[in-house]
Structure 1
């Protein structure tokens, strides 16, 4: 070794040391940051800068990468917290939160355990929001409740350089006593609806039957009215004929009715012999004379 140093001399040693320093400086001064990360650089213990993805340069021996922060979206483990609604129902709510770090310098220097801090914040907000609602509202307005929780969590973690990308209520569980009470209420409601449906059906059947009877009565009345109109018309025609032709028209109508009656008796099913008085025959004769006179 001594022979080696004697060979290169003092100038060569200095050159080697300078080359080594340059290589180390380049190695420490050039930082390649992956796409999914950001690096927090400190100088003498203070925040110097935040390096983004790609090639970056820092001052060697003075600056150092103190924290390497992933900026990928993260999911907190599913958490369960108890809450009491305004109608005094104890529920257990399962929640899950997704977030990502946008400003690593805030996350590093303002909060020690970001996951635990977010989980605690979410638990408090969920209890507060559910405490403002009744159980039925919690079940029916889950989407609105999730949006409210997400907005509240975003406001709470804004100083930590975090963006809450999604908040989910996975399930709302009830104790056994509340479940049984709700099941009884549900069965009672189903029975009530069935009775209402049956009553409405019976009512509709009665209404339809009444409508049918009313329709039949209206049709019968209409038929009687038409028949009365026809008889009134016939009477009017006869009256008009009597007015125009006097007694002769009336005698003609009487003779016509006599002939029709005689034909009906003669064409009867019994085929019986008809005996009439002499004066009746004279009346029939007069009727036939009047009929022949009308037709001629």
Structure 2
């Protein structure tokens, strides 16, 4: 079967069809969810295409940059820094960021990761230099917040958002480690001596309290005894006042008789020699007792 020669009109139609297909292919851009396209027209920034189906002008517009907007992590970095009290430390840091404005990122900075890493290193050294070693160790969360804030301010012109900054570790040189260990041991020894001294002081205080309590109880007993004797004396005085001298003589006679009975109740044989006045006194006592009875 012989092929028919193409006429001029058919050729134009075919070329036109190819041109339309090419325009469609060049003019339609599908952007992924995690990307943004930077479009240039005649070498200048024209627009930024977001995720989805986008149309551009074929042959005039071109995709100059494909920028990922996913969160990125810089490689862990280690930099030396000197604290306010002149201690050399090594700081391990990690920074997470994402690109919010691709136009500013691609036209204002060439190497984003290197620029952010350099910025972080300088800010870390500056912040560490404002703090003493103990503050760096104890206020790590505050230090991280200050580093993150400073980095955010520095990279804002690049269209970058710092999502997180981490201070992974603070390392010391061997000489500083040994000095800190000696200081720690000295502090432990001091605390042990202080605890022992406080224990001894407390023991002395308790012993003094016990002696004071004993003295107070003895004084209280003596005071009670003195009150009892004073009460007895008052009773006798009241009896003498109410009954006269006879009551007093009666009490004296009663005591004399009780003493004589106790003397006579002793074991063995005793010879008791009494003066005549004592015999007379006992006689008077017996008379009083007889009269009372």
Q: Shift of residue 288 of structure 1?
A: 3.4
Count of aligned residue pairs for this structure pair: 288
Unaligned runs of 5+ in 1: none
Q: Which residue of 1 aligns with 2:252?
A: 254
Partner of 1:3: 3
The answer to whether the aligner puts 1:19 opposite 2:20 as a matched pair is no
Q: Is the 8 A contact 1:266 1:272 kept in 2?
A: no
Tell me what 1:188 maps to: 186
The whole-number CA distance in structure 1 between the counterparts of 2:264 and 2:103 is: 127
Contact 1:98–1:164 (CA under 8 A) maintained in structure 2: yes
Q: Partner of 1:42 in structure 2?
A: 40
Q: Residues 176-209 of structure 1: CA distance to partner in whole angstroms, max 9, x if unpaired?
A: 1111111111100100010000000000000000
**After alignment, is 270-279 or 162-171 more displaced?**
270-279
Q: Deviations over 1:151-188 (max 9, x none)?
A: 11111111100011111111111111111111111100
Kept after mapping to 2: 8 A contact 1:5/1:13: no
Cα separation, partners in 2 of 1:26 and 1:252, compared to 1, 3 Å: farther
Answer yes or no: is 1:239 the counterpart of 2:237: yes
What is the CA–CA distance in structure 2 between the aligned matches of 1:46 and 1:224, rounded to whole Å?
A: 111
State the distance in 2 between where 1:46 and 1:123 align.
Answer: 34
TM-score, normalising length from structure 1?
Answer: 0.89
Query: Do the aligned residues in 2 keep the contact of 1:33 with 1:54 (CA within 8 Å)?
Result: yes
Structure 2 partner of 1:75: 73
Aligned partner of 2:31 among 23, 33, 36? 33
Residues 255, 290 of structure 1: 8 Å contact kept: no
SS at match of 2:40: strand
1:206 aligns to 2:204 (yes or no): yes
Deviations 1:77-121 (A, max 9, x none): 111111112222111111111111100111100000010001101
Identify the match of residue 132 of structure 2 among 131, 134, 137: 134
Corresponding residue SS for 2:3: helix
CA–CA distance in structure 2, aligned partners of residues 39 and 274 of structure 1: 141
C-alpha distance in 2 between matches for 1:144 and 1:115? 25
Quote how far apart the aligned CAs of 1:27 are.
2.1
Q: 1:222 — aligned with what?
A: 220
d(CA) in 2 for partners of 1:254 and 1:234?
15
| CA positional deviation for 1:276 | 8.4
Between the aligned partners of 2:265 and 2:53, the Cα distance in structure 1 is 128
CA contact (8 A) 1:91 1:173 kept: yes
Question: Aligned equivalents of 2:106 and 2:228: distance in 1?
Answer: 106
The CA deviation at 1:284 is 5.0
The structural deviation recorded for 1:255 is 3.6
Structure 2 unaligned spans of 5+ = none
Taking structure 2 as the reference length, the TM-score comes to 0.90
SS in 2 for 1:3: coil
Work out the CA distance in 1 between the residues paired with 2:221 and 2:262.
Answer: 27
Determine the C-alpha separation between the residues in 2 that align with 1:25 and 1:271.
153
| Cα 1:40/1:238, change in 2 over 3 Å | same
Which among 96, 107, 110 is matched to residue 109 of structure 1? 107
Aligned-residue Cα RMSD (Å) equals 2.3
Aligned to 1:93: 91
C-alpha distance in 1 between matches for 2:176 and 2:188 = 18
